[in-house]
């Protein structure tokens, strides 16, 4: 199978929190939301280097500490795309071209592309070369040399110093825009210049319309058999005020207010037009899971619906599109149409096998998603696996899905809310399951049909239901552990674990413990290192684990 990794992340780093927040807001307003996820980065995350292979662009601002700056230079010289704004990064890349003097801010006249004689604020760069195009050699932190082509894209006319430079690595194809301009998005010239640089020089996909996109929220639908819907409505208030959402169950004949970011109208007497209830229920074979569900064509997040209230056990929310999807550790999760997205609520008795090991539920759902697809006749050899703790990967290198989970105690039960998104037919931001099927058909000469969202969700719910019921009835998780190892990526994988004092310890992944925490065998003390699912950085491709120490 081919490697079709398309880095979906745009990362923003600045020493000053306000500058970093401004960059994140700016980028989210400029780039295509169905293609990229924009993340703010901490100093520790930058230096961990776990992000290098999943990043489409790194944007930095200000005076970087040497450690962070070295990582950024290595990324650029290794083939990455960088935009540096009023940063000392250029001095580190080209120490012979930039004098080590303190910069000063000046109001200057800039002429660049269609922006002629425009007044701008700029940090004046003490540049030693007179030519606008030249070549220079740069060195990464290991001393490896890379030849650069340097082109000054614009000079300010007041002092005739460079305003915008484009540096390209001739060997690795690294591409960097280094600008001394103060990019204030409240001003149209700065916003348009930044958009132009991202689009034309760094080849980042930009929104076609720069005005605020109007999200069209739509009414949701209660789906289920007539008997199950009646029982559900008898036990549910007509109006629910949730933490982030007001829900109202109503008939289509009522005079309804429009659904919005904070209001969700749920029609109980009609079926959706863009989701085949017949196909879904003809494939669904569960004992309790997903038999009553709310289908949302557009919602903020399906987790806004299931969280902070108690629904029936196995209740599901299916969303076609989401405006504020989120992942583990509050990471942004892109939620375009074509992504199979759902949230479930499980009522788990605390005395049960899973009730005593609640962290294992995320592993159960993750492996159930993979097994559901690979258990369909003909699809068994699709390269879809679980990356610990709960991500879904294709071809061993491309993330196509993930989970978020939260729980609260209610008497002798844990009410567990699980949110999941899997790229089914959306090739952006990375790739999707149907891309894999197309690849497989082309490689093997087969004609496996592409999967639809209704049947896929039903297959997934069937598998979650089957594994969950089996584990609880047997009061034993061994079958779940075996299944997880069958479909995960990490058996006997060599890794390096960074200790709290920065020491790198070589080890081998031996499995997970009874709670789902990762176990790494090392030669030190003969005792495996236990890594928790949250608060760590795990770069599987580089074999580097950086736990969070408290």
Count helices and strands in the chain by DSSP H and E runs: 12, 27
Which distant-in-sequence residues (6+ apart) come within 8 Å of 379 by Cβ?
373, 437, 448
Residues 6+ positions from 145 with CB-CB distance below 8 Å: 137, 138, 139
User: What CA–CA distance (Å, rounded) separates 72 from 52?
Assistant: 9
Any idea what the CATH number is for the domain that residue 81 is in?
Answer: 3.40.50.880
Split into its structural domains, the chain has a count of 3
pLDDT of residue 524: 67
- Determine, yes or no, domain membership for 186: yes
Mean pLDDT of the region 291-299: 95
User: Per-residue pLDDT tens for 197-234?
Assistant: 999 999 999 987 544 456 789 999 999 999 999 999 99
Pick the last residue of a domain from 487, 515, 533. 487
Whether residues 155 and 283 fall in one domain: no
244 within some domain: no
Domain boundary among 202, 237, 264: 202
In a domain? residue 301? yes
Let me know if residue 81 belongs to a domain: yes
Q: Are residues 472 and 497 in the same domain?
A: no
475 with 344, same domain: the answer is: yes
Q: How far apart are alpha carbons 376 and 374 in whole angstroms? A: 6
- In this predicted model, which residue has the larger pLDDT, 43 or 184? 43
- What's the chain's Rg over C-alpha atoms? 26
Q: What percent of the residues of the chain are helix, what percent strand, and what percent coil, each to the nearest 5?
A: 25, 35, 40
Q: Is the pLDDT of residue 126 over 90?
A: no
Cross-strand bridge partners of residue 440: none
Beta bridge partners, 341, equal 319, 421
Q: Is 266:293 a contact under the CB 8 Å cutoff? A: no
Residue 333 resides in a domain: yes
For the segment 134-188, what is each residue's pLDDT rounded down to a tens digit? Answer: 999 999 999 999 999 999 999 998 888 999 999 999 999 999 999 999 877 667 7
Question: pLDDT category, 104, cuts 50, 70, 90?
Answer: confident
- In this structure, the answer to whether residues 408 and 543 fall within a common structural domain is no
Two structure tokens written together for 50: 């776990």
Is 176 in the same domain as 305?
A: no
Domain for residue 249, yes or no? no
Render pLDDT for 469-511 as a digit per residue (tens, 0 to 9). Answer: 999 999 999 999 999 999 999 888 888 877 667 677 888 898 9
What pLDDT is attached to residue 390?
87
- How far lies 326's CA from each of 239, 240, 511, in Å? 25, 22, 28
- The CATH number that applies at residue 349 is 3.30.930.10
C-alpha dihedral sign at 111, 115, 117, 119: negative
Residue 477 and residue 505 in one domain: no
Report strand pairing: 239-241 vs 391-394: unpaired
Q: Per-residue pLDDT for 276 more than 50?
A: yes
Sequence-separated (6 or more) residues with CB below 8 Å from residue 501:
none
Same domain, 156 and 87: yes
Say if residue 477 is in the same domain as residue 500: no
Q: State the pLDDT at residue 540.
A: 47
Residues 418 and 473 in one domain: yes
Query: Per-residue pLDDT averaged across 255-283, rounded?
Result: 94
Are both 369 and 512 inside the same structural domain? no
Residue carrying structure tokens 């009414």? 219
Residues 380, 225: Cα–Cα separation, whole Å: 32
Residues 509 and 465 in one domain: no
Is residue 527's pLDDT more than 80? no
Q: Is the pLDDT of residue 379 over 50?
A: yes
The verdict on residue 162 lying in a domain is yes
Is the pLDDT at 536 greater than 60? The verdict is no
User: Among the residues of 331-387, which ranges form H helices?
Assistant: 360-374
* Final residue before a domain boundary, out of 170, 202, 234: 202
245 part of a folded domain: no
In 12-143, which ranges are continuous DSSP H helix? 17-30, 43-48, 66-77, 89-93
- The yes-or-no verdict on residue 13 having pLDDT over 80 is yes
What range defines the domain where residue 399 resides? 276-487
Query: Do 416 and 533 lie in a common domain?
Result: no
Q: What is residue 148's predicted lDDT score, i.e. its pLDDT? A: 96
């Amino acid at each position: 199978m081919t490697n079709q990794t398309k880095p979906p992340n745009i990362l923003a780093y600045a020493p000053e929190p306000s500058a970093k927040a401004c960059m994140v807001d700016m980028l989210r307003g400029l780039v295509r939301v169905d293609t990229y996820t924009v993340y703010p980065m901490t100093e520790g995350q930058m230096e961990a280097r776990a992000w290098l292979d999943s990043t489409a662009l790194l944007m930095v601002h200000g005076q970087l500490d040497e450690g962070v700056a070295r990582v950024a230079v290595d990324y650029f010289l290794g083939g990455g795309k960088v935009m540096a704004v009023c940063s000392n990064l250029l001095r580190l890349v080209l120490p012979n071209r930039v004098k080590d003097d303190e910069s000063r801010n000046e109001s200057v006249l800039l002429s660049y592309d269609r922006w002629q004689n425009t007044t701008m604020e700029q940090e004046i760069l003490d540049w030693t070369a007179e030519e606008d195009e030249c070549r220079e050699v740069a060195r990464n932190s290991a001393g490896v040399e890379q030849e650069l082509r340097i082109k000054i894209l614009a000079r300010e006319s007041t002092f005739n110093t460079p305003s915008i430079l484009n540096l390209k690595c001739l060997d690795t194809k690294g591409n960097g825009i280094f600008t001394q301009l103060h990019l204030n998005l409240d001003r149209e010239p700065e916003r348009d210049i930044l958009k132009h640089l991202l689009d034309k020089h760094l080849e980042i996909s930009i929104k076609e319309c720069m005005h605020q996109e109007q999200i069209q929220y739509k009414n949701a639908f209660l789906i289920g058999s007539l008997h199950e819907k009646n029982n559900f409505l008898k036990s549910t208030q007509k109006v629910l005020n949730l933490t982030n959402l007001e829900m109202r169950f109503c008939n289509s004949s009522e005079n309804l207010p429009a659904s919005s970011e904070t209001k969700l109208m749920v029609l109980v007497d009609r079926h959706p037009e863009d989701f085949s209830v017949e196909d879904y229920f003809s494939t669904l074979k569960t004992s309790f899971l997903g038999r009553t569900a709310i289908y949302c064509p557009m919602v903020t997040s399906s987790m806004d619906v299931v969280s902070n209230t108690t629904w029936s056990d196995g209740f599901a929310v299916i969303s076609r599109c989401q405006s504020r999807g989120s992942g583990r550790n509050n990471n942004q999760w892109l939620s375009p149409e074509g992504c199979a997205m759902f949230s479930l609520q499980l009522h788990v008795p605390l005395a049960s096998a899973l009730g005593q090991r609640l962290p294992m539920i995320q592993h159960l759902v993750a492996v159930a998603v993979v097994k559901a697809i690979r258990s369909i006749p003909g699809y068994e050899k699709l390269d879809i696996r679980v990356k610990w703790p709960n991500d879904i990967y294709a071809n061993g290198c491309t993330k196509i899905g993930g989970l978020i989970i939260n729980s609260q105690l209610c008497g002798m039960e844990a009410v567990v809310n699980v949110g999941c998104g899997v790229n089914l037919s959306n090739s952006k931001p990375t790739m999707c399951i149907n891309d894999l099927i197309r690849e497989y058909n082309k490689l093997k000469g087969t004609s496996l049909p592409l999967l639809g969202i209704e049947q896929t969700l039903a297959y997934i719910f069937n598998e979650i239901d089957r594994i969950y019921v089996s584990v609880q009835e047997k009061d034993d998780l061994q079958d779940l552990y075996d299944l997880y190892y069958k479909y995960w990526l990490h058996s006997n994988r060599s890794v390096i674990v960074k200790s709290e004092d920065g020491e790198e310890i070589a080890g081998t992944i031996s499995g997970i413990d009874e709670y789902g925490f990762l176990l790494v065998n090392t030669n030190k003390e003969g005792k495996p290192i236990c890594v928790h699912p949250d608060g760590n950085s795990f770069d599987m491709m580089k074999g580097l684990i950086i736990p969070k120490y408290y």
